[in-house]
Amino acid sequence: MRNSREGSEVMKQHRYLICMLLATIVVGGCGLIGGSSSDQATLDQLSEAGSDLSRPHPFDFYLYHPEQSGAELLCSALISEGFEVSIGESATGGDWLCLASLTMLPTIENLTELGTTFTRLIDQYGGEYDGWETIVLP
């Protein structure tokens, strides 16, 4: 059983995930390649939700490839860039998800730099980048 403080923290995290979903719908997508204004808007929402942006946050980045072999190459390249990765079929089927995880400071500069990395890797291996998510860390 969780105490009330733990329950409150879980609720904050759930509220942030809802904010991420709303940002995707309202802003037009989180984490478009290149450090877009939607990235900044999402960082602003993260801060407004009570997250301490001076602390490193765990990020998950979603990259998709239509073929398993291409997704495996993409994931291998991401490992060499310092990401932890997992691969699996996408929830909707048809494509393969390469989920890349990294703990970093949540700044527009870091997201822009990663956008450049994702662009380079997608140009090389194919596929598409579909955004990111993180949690609220007070």
Q: Are 63 and 130 in contact (CB under 8 A)?
A: yes
Domain membership flag for residue 66: yes
Domain membership flag for residue 108: yes
- List residues bridging with 98 in a β-sheet: 63, 87
Residue 102 belongs to domain spanning: 4-133
Domain membership flag for residue 138: no
Domain membership flag for residue 74: yes
**What is the structure's pLDDT at 41?**
94
Instruction: Tell me how far CA of residue 117 lies from CA of 39, 65, 82, in angstroms.
Output: 16, 16, 11
User: Which CATH number goes with the domain that contains 15?
Assistant: 3.30.70.970
Q: Please state the pTM of the whole predicted model.
A: 0.75
Per-residue pLDDT tens digits of the chain, which is 138 residues long: 334 444 445 444 544 444 444 444 332 235 445 557 889 999 999 999 999 999 999 999 999 999 999 999 999 999 999 999 999 999 988 899 999 999 999 999 999 999 999 999 999 999 999 999 999 999
Domain membership flag for residue 88: yes
| Burial 11-42, CB ≥16 within 10 A → b, else e | ebeeebeebbeebbeebeebbbbebbebbeeb
Number of domains forming the structure of the chain: 1
**What is the structure's pLDDT at 26?**
31
Domain membership flag for residue 120: yes
Which two tokens mark 8?
């409150």
DSSP H or E segment with residue 100: strand 96-104
